[in-house]
Amino acid sequence: MIRRVAFLSIHSSPLATPGVGDAGGMNVYIDALARTLAGRDIRVDVFTRRGEDGAPDETEVAPGYCVIQIDADGRERADLVGSFAEGVAKWIAEQDATPDLLHSHYWLSGWAGAVLQDVLSIPLAISFHTLGRVKEATRAPGEPRESLVRLAAETEVVARAGCVVASTPAEAADLIEHYQANPERICVSPPGVDHSVFRPGNKERARARLGLEPGPLVAFVGRIQPLKGVDVAIEAVGSLEGVRLLVVGGPSGPVGESEFTRLEALAALRAPGRVTFLPPRPHADIACVYRAADAVIVPSRSESFGLVAVEAQACGTPVVASRVGGLAYSVDDDRSGYLVAGHSPADYARALRRILDDPANAERLSAGAVDHAAAFSWDATADRLIELYNGLVV
């Protein structure tokens, strides 16, 4: 029976605010899952790279759930991963706290996990959250190519991990097609939603809290990078007279700042005075954004799952999303929102118009959104993973 698990997250800390830098759905996933497992009397130690000087070595987030900051440096990624793995192994040895299992998140952590599973002689599970080969196939114009180091590391980790956790059947299929993953070692376990936070609420109160005026409103929530397709959202809303767009998130990745500047100029050109950019907000506050909107748009070029889409639906807000990856699983087309093939702003505008111009249809989709999102919970995610963990440590 598993009693202690170590989460590895070099990429970013679960303590970070989603939408800031590299923080996004993965951070929410790690934090929510750690809290849920800790509530089941499973100790969770989350190891992350120290992001800033002065950050505490250890943060007890909740009883049984601790975030441990590891100093890791290196000009090359192999050096960074090696330094991180060494720091984790040193902490575990000093604390005499060997976990029953490692669960890595993102490919860099998977690489570190592959090293540590040999050093500690314990099994490894991996959740990639995004896949390099899939991102490369859907790369937006001007976005950097995925490195060969990443692609090679992902392939190696898939081959060595005791289990690869996929968020959706679509991700499982990608792992088999692009990485020749063994189907017997793939576990499909969708993320959940905190329904005590993300639930329907009063639209007028939500808008008042955000300082928004009445009128048709579409919201985008996420990191500002070409992959997320914010330009598509601006172009689509720009063609809808009188409709406003609320963009909540900050620049992310190597071209995030330049992308943000480009989007501001695009908004001034295509929808002057109708696009509002807000900085990232604490995760629980995002529920207010979802409730304020008539529709949430998710025009990503690739998504392993699309947690924003499910959270918005849990708040009763219909979603218009691209028909890619996990979004085709997290949005029920014509029941909780609409899925759009391709990235034509005109197609997104047509889908949004079906919600904004038809109150009866919007009400139908809102009810369907709440019903669809009810199937996703962190308790269900934890149940599936505990079953997986116990199978690996036997």
Residue-wise pLDDT for 111-120, tens only, equals: 999 999 999 9
State the sign of the Cα–Cα–Cα–Cα dihedral 218, 222, 225, 226.
negative
State the sign of the Cα–Cα–Cα–Cα dihedral 315, 371, 331, 350.
negative
pLDDT category of residue 24 using cuts at 50, 70 and 90? low
Q: What is the pLDDT of residue 19?
A: 59
All structural domains of the chain:
4-192+377-393 (3.40.50.2000), 203-373 (3.40.50.2000)
User: To which H or E segment does residue 61 belong?
Assistant: strand 58-62
Q: What is the pLDDT of residue 172?
A: 94
Q: What is the pLDDT of residue 227?
A: 87
Q: 82 exposed, middle or buried (CB, 10 Å; 0-12, 13-18, 19+)?
A: middle
Q: What amino acid is encoded at 140 in this protein?
A: A
Q: What is the pLDDT of residue 146?
A: 82
Rounded CA-CA distance 105/194 in Å is 20
Tell which residue, 136, 196, 138, 188, has the closest CA to residue 163: 188
Q: What is the pLDDT of residue 325?
A: 87
Q: What is the pLDDT of residue 269?
A: 95
Q: What amino acid is encoded at 110 in this protein?
A: G
Q: What amino acid is encoded at 175 in this protein?
A: L
Q: What is the pLDDT of residue 23?
A: 58
Rounded CA-CA distance 169/188 in Å is 6
Rounded CA-CA distance 313/370 in Å is 6
CB under 8 Å to 285, separation ≥6 — which residues? none
Rounded CA-CA distance 343/330 in Å is 18
Q: Quick one: tokens of 383?
A: 């149940």
pLDDT digits 0-9 by tens, 33-87: 999 999 999 999 999 998 776 778 999 999 999 999 999 887 788 889 999 999 9
CA separation, residue 305 to residues 71, 192, 231, 322 (Å): 30, 11, 21, 12
User: To which H or E segment does residue 68 belong?
Assistant: strand 65-70
Question: What's the pTM value of the predicted model, to 2 decimals?
Answer: 0.90
Is residue 21 over pLDDT 60?
A: no
Q: Quick one: tokens of 300?
A: 């990503």
Rounded CA-CA distance 232/343 in Å is 7
Q: Quick one: tokens of 304?
A: 């392993």
Q: What is the mean pLDDT of the chain?
A: 93
pLDDT digits 0-9 by tens, 185-244: 999 999 999 999 999 999 999 999 999 989 999 999 998 989 899 999 999 999 999 999
Do residues 187 and 95 make contact, with C-beta atoms less than 8 angstroms apart?
Answer: no
pLDDT digits 0-9 by tens, 342-368: 999 999 999 999 999 999 999 999 999
